[in-house]
A and B are shown apart, each in its own frame.
Chain A
Amino acid sequence: MRNKFLVGLYSDEDKMIDGVRKMRENHLEVYDVVSPFAVHGLDDALGLNESRLHITGFIYGASGLTIALTFMTWVFTSDWPLNFGGKPHFSFPAFIPILFEFTVLSASIGMTLTFLLRSGLYPGRIREKLDERTTDDKFAVVFRINKKTSAEEIGKMKEMLQSSGAEEIKERDLKRHY
Chain B
Amino acid sequence: MHAESAVRAPLIYGNKNYHQITEDICRPIESKPTRLYIITITITALLMTWGLFMIGWTVWFGIGTWGLNRTVDWGWDITNFVWWIGIGHAGTLISAILLLFRQKWRMAINRAAEAMTIFAVICAGLFPIFHMGRVWLIFFNLPYPNSRGPLWPNFNSPLLWDVFAISTYFTVSLLFWYTGLIPDIATVRDRTKKKLSKFIYGVLSFGWTGSAKHWQRHEALSLVLAGISTPLVLSVHTIVSFDFATSVIPGWHTTIFPPYFVAGAIFSGFAMVLTLMLVARKVMNLQEYITLEHIESMNKIIVLTGSIVGSAYITELFVAWYSGNIYEQYAFANRALGPYWWAYWGMMTCNVISPQLFWVRPLRRSVWFTFFMSIIINCGMWFERFVIIVTSIHRDFIPSSWSYYSPTYVEISIFAGTVGLFLTAFMLFAKTMPVIAMAETKHILRISGDAQKKAAAEHAHGYQGSAISFHKP
Which residues on A are within 8 Å of B, measured CB to CB? Answer: 11, 14, 32-43, 46, 48, 51, 53-54, 57, 61, 71-72, 75-76, 79-80, 82, 84, 87, 91, 94-95, 97-98, 100-102, 104-105, 107-109, 111-112, 115-116, 118-127, 129-130, 132-137, 178
B175 lies within 8 A of chain A by Cβ? yes
Among listed B62-70, B143-151, B280-288, interface-contacting one: B143-151
Q: Do A109 and B220 touch across chains, with their CB atoms under 8 A apart?
A: no
Chain B residue nearest in CB terms to A107: B228
Q: Do B217 and A36 touch across chains, with their CB atoms under 8 A apart?
A: no
Q: Do A134 and B210 touch across chains, with their CB atoms under 8 A apart?
A: yes
Q: Do B164 and A97 touch across chains, with their CB atoms under 8 A apart?
A: yes
Tell me, rounded to whole Å, the shortest Cβ–Cβ distance linking B371 to chain A.
Answer: 32
Among listed B16-24, B71-79, B291-299, B421-429, interface-contacting one: B16-24
Q: Do B152 and A137 touch across chains, with their CB atoms under 8 A apart?
A: no
* Contact A121 B206, CB 8 Å, known A101-B165, A104-B232, A136-B19: yes
6 additional contacts (CB under 8 A) given A37-B443, A53-B220, A102-B168: A34-B211, A36-B210, A37-B442, A42-B215, A75-B143, A104-B232
B209 lies within 8 A of chain A by Cβ? yes
Interface residues of B in 36-91 (CB under 8 A from A): none
Give complex CA distance A11, B209 in Å: 17
* Contact A80 B212, CB 8 Å, known A36-B18, A98-B155: no
* Residues of the A chain whose Cβ atoms lie less than 8 Å from the Cβ of B191: 132, 136
Give complex CA distance A35, B442 in Å: 11
Tell me, rounded to whole Å, the shortest Cβ–Cβ distance linking A113 to chain B.
Answer: 9
* Residues of the B chain whose Cβ atoms lie less than 8 Å from the Cβ of A57: 224, 228
* Contact A124 B171, CB 8 Å, known A36-B18, A135-B190: no
Q: Do A105 and B171 touch across chains, with their CB atoms under 8 A apart?
A: yes
Looking at A37, A112, A124, the one whose CB has the most chain B CB atoms below 10 A away is A37
By the criterion of a CB under 8 Å from any partner CB, how many residues of chain B are at the interface? Answer: 66
From B202, B204, B216, give the contact of A126 (CB < 8 A). B202
Main secondary structure of the interface of B (DSSP, over half): helix
Give complex CA distance A76, B228 in Å: 28
Chain B residue nearest in CB terms to A127: B207
Give complex CA distance A151, B68 in Å: 82
Q: Do A136 and B152 touch across chains, with their CB atoms under 8 A apart?
A: no
From B156, B160, B187, B443, give the contact of A91 (CB < 8 A). B156
B255 lies within 8 A of chain A by Cβ? no
Tell me, rounded to whole Å, the shortest Cβ–Cβ distance linking A31 to chain B.
Answer: 10
Listed A/B pairs (13) with beta-carbon separation below 8 Å: A40-B1, A51-B220, A53-B224, A57-B228, A76-B155, A100-B235, A102-B168, A104-B168, A104-B229, A108-B225, A121-B182, A123-B204, A130-B209
* Contact A82 B154, CB 8 Å, known A38-B216, A38-B439: yes
Tell me, rounded to whole Å, the shortest Cβ–Cβ distance linking B186 to chain A.
Answer: 5
B341 lies within 8 A of chain A by Cβ? no
Q: Do A108 and B175 touch across chains, with their CB atoms under 8 A apart?
A: yes
B408 lies within 8 A of chain A by Cβ? no
* Contact A36 B224, CB 8 Å, known A42-B212, A80-B149, A101-B168: no
Q: Do A115 and B179 touch across chains, with their CB atoms under 8 A apart?
A: yes
From B164, B172, B224, give the contact of A54 (CB < 8 A). B224
Give complex CA distance A41, B209 in Å: 19
Give complex CA distance A51, B158 in Å: 38
Tell me, rounded to whole Å, the shortest Cβ–Cβ distance linking B341 to chain A.
Answer: 35
Q: Do A109 and B19 touch across chains, with their CB atoms under 8 A apart?
A: no
Q: Hey, what's the 0/1 contact readout for B399-416 against A, CB within 8 Å counting as 1? A: 000000000000000000
Give complex CA distance A68, B101 in Å: 31
B213 lies within 8 A of chain A by Cβ? yes
Tell me, rounded to whole Å, the shortest Cβ–Cβ distance linking B334 to chain A.
Answer: 29
